[in-house]
Structure 1
Amino acid sequence: MKSFKIGGPKSFSPPRAPQLDTPRSSTPTAPTSKPGASSKPSAPQDGFDTVGSKISSSVRGLFGPSQADSFASNPTKFSSQNVLNGYKLFPEGKPPQGVTLPTPGKPMVPASQSTATLNIQQHQGNTNLSLSPAGGNGPQVHYLHYLSSGQNTQSNGSFAGISDVPLRPGKGEPNMVMTGPLNGCAVHAMHNPANDTLSFVHQADFSKYGAQTGKQQLDGFLKQNNLQLVQSLTPNDYSHLTGKHGIETGATAFAHYDNAAGKWNMVGQLNDWKNGRGQGDRPELQRPPGGLPQQWTGPVDLQNPLSLNDLK
């Protein structure tokens, strides 16, 4: 995924962010540099292809105490004031113990099998997010994975999701959904009328074959799983050209349950590349130049479900 811009509460955009640029047609591939040439950030696809690289314990020790509780107490405010970095969600190079990952044959994982502990450390201007096994000292969250779109996926697309997320989480239940950085993908919130729960789905390369194809793939997935679309964050909401490298911005996305409003919210924080490789092989992010929306937020409102025609 890529960078996204952050800002204060006044910068929050309405549920559908204005279209400032044409959404990317495909997930960018990592640019190459010739020896001696100026360095150009190398963009992992949606931040998940770097999972296998391990961060040493000595590097983790530099990050300091976790600020995850501060984030969980007011996620929207916290994300408006800090550059969230979701690369390297798995510091040990593998999913936390107890987390089940989806597969192409079984793309939906029960929420009960997706729980992990959220950790947040400040490092050189970035607020680095990581996950450890459930039951740790920190907020409990649901992890939403990503499945890369490979060959023969143009017709059906590539989806990874979690199901049976409570509409109103009880005390002690996770009230946040975390996923890796977005860089051409979309994240959707869906309602399951059969048991009145929510599902959250990561759709790889939403606009790779054009937004219309992405919507057709999503429509097929909804019908196959008897789900109703409620809210979405797509490349149209976060992908904008910025900077001298010509790399489009990306997003750090999450969902959280607002107890006061009694609703889930989806949030996407715009970010931009600062350095292609920082401490522990985690790219360093920064806020994009001025003039771009800094944060996208939209309520998951079952009374006002999202139409496929609303997506761009």
Structure 2
Amino acid sequence: MSDADTDLDGRAALPVDEAADLVDRVTTNIQRVIVGNDDAVEHLMVTLLARGHLLLEDVPGVGKTMLARSLARSVDCEFKRVQFTPDLLPSDVTGVNVFNQKTGEFDFQPGPVFANIVLGDEINRAPPKTQSALLEAMEERQVTVDGVTRELPDPFTVIATQNDVEPGRTYELPLAEVDRFMKKLRLGYPDAADETALLDRTAGEHPIESLDPVATVEGLRRARTTVGDVEVSEPVRAYVTALANYTRENAQLGVSPRGSIALVRAAQARAVVDDRDYVVPDDVQTEAPSVFAHRIRPRTGGETGADVVAGALDDVPVE
């Protein structure tokens, strides 16, 4: 790949080593705040580079929201937060037309979805109608209000959190929305050493308050162009297809074509993170669990989507 490569908007791609360096800078910056979740930070960066969206599911208090805020502070971009509640309306997310008495016309007041990084906090506390307000935005990078379609900023990434406790007070995300998240991650509790280090860092002022940007929006856009130019050979594409077909044959609901596309894009981003301009099967295998598992509905109650993905990785040969 040469630095003369461009995307559809004429934006020049970064050389692979410069894109990998951007990832390293942002990752290191985030790790000043997030302790003991290096894999999660790396998955977050892969999602961002691959133009995807991320769903973080776990118990309260393990750093889901802080991870999203740390990313937003590390990249000099516009960040908005939506606190999902049972009384939240779709227009509270997308925006609304308000009548202007001076002009006698309706003015559009954009909602928080009009930002580069949007944090949907506790997304499963809002009813499905409000959750669905994100569907068009996440898939098509646009919002339609009262028949008028408006483009969202570039880049645009949704990072949503949901708690997996208090099931009686939350709403299950629609399958159509779950499928629009490139990855679903769990952070888990830190081990004793990491938690002790976290307590030391937060004893005074929280480190996120002094976090400065280490990357620009334009740099991120160019790094995304780099990812799109990464070579994916025919055997690697066939391998992704075979993995997806395995899930369809061995689950009640398998991975959609959207999921296959997401895996290829995630593998391209993983290659750039590892300073390569081509995808290898190891990239696919590394990304498959976080990209595929949440899209699968197993046939039996004792099995999980992760189990199906593990079976696919074990049984599907690499040609």
TM-score between both structures, scaled by the size of structure 2: 0.25
TM-score between both structures, scaled by the size of structure 1: 0.26
Instruction: Choose 1 or 2 for highest CA Rg.
Output: 2
Higher relative helix content? 2
Higher relative contact order (CA 8 A, sep 6+): 1
Higher relative strand content? 1
